[in-house]
């Protein structure tokens, strides 16, 4: 099995890697995380292949993933970035609002960002995202630079787990207790 830390994604998408990681976590009894499908309405279909060729989004989606880790509700979104600056245009206001409400209910919300040019995965806690989001709303930068991020939230290299976010989720929980 290819791993992101030794060979790069090699054509696999971040979503595929997260899905495979979630399967491993479920098999080990560590977490139960589900991919939330984006609701679409097909408009045109290819009669031969029976594939959708044109569709529209029925409603705004919230986050990519939702579930529980050892009894703790979690939700997160996975994003890719090819440069050192992550544009907040990649995140929608309704996602930020959903995460705010999720955390208000006692859940943990975060983003997983794959910096493809660095071959590096980053765990962005909601609180850190909110700092950047509020700064942009107040007329500041509409993005954040990699250098602004806490290096302790870089996902570690982990044999057999493609996107080992549980390691950093534990750190996030510990940091919240301080």
**HEC profile of 35-48:** ECCCCEEEEEECCC
pLDDT, residue 47, reads 74
Q: How many angstroms separate the Cα of 149 from the Cα of each of 126, 152, 154? A: 13, 9, 9
pLDDT value, residue 145: 97
For residue 10, the number of C-alpha atoms closer than 13 Å in the C-beta half-sphere is: 9
Domain definitions of the chain by residue range: 4-177
Q: Where do the DSSP E strands lie in the chain?
A: 31-35, 40-45, 52-57, 65-69, 72-81, 85-87, 108-115, 120-125, 143-145
Size of the chain, expressed as the number of residues it contains: 178
Question: Domain 4-177 - what CATH class?
Answer: alpha beta
The pLDDT, as a whole number, for residue 117 is 93
Q: How much is the pLDDT for 2?
A: 36
Confirm or deny that 53 is annotated as ligand binding: no
Q: Are 164 and 155 in contact (CB under 8 A)?
A: yes
Structure tokens of 63?
Answer: 């986050």
> Is position 62 annotated in a ligand binding site?
yes
87: number of CA atoms within 13 Å, CB side? 4
Each residue's pLDDT tens digit in the chain (178 positions)?
A: 333 344 444 435 889 999 999 999 999 999 999 998 765 566 677 778 777 666 555 556 678 899 999 999 999 999 999 999 999 999 999 999 999 999 999 999 999 999 999 999 999 999 999 999 999 999 999 999 999 999 999 998 877 889 999 999 999 999 998 7
The one-character DSSP state at 106 is: T
What is the distance between the alpha carbons of residues 14 and 111, in angstroms, rounded to a whole number? 12
d(CA 79, CA 113): 5
Is 95 among the annotated ligand-binding positions? yes
Q: Is 77 annotated as a binding residue?
A: yes
């Amino acid at each position: 099995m290819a791993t992101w830390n030794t060979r790069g994604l090699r054509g696999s998408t971040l979503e595929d890697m997260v899905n495979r990681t979630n399967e491993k976590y479920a098999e080990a009894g560590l977490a139960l995380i589900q991919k939330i499908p984006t609701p679409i309405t097909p408009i045109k279909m290819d009669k031969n292949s029976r594939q959708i060729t044109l569709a529209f989004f029925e409603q705004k989606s919230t986050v990519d993933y939702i579930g529980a880790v050892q009894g703790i509700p979690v939700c997160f979104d996975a994003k890719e970035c090819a440069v050192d600056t992550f544009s907040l245009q990649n995140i929608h206001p309704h996602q930020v609002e959903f995460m705010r409400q999720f955390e208000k209910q006692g859940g943990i919300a975060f983003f997983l960002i794959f910096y493809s040019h660095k071959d590096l995965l980053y765990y962005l806690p909601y609180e850190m995202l909110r700092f950047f989001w509020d700064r942009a709303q107040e007329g500041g930068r509409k993005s954040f630079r990699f250098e602004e991020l806490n290096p302790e939230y870089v996902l570690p290299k982990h044999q057999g787990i493609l996107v080992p976010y549980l390691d950093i989720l534990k750190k996030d929980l510990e940091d919240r207790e301080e």
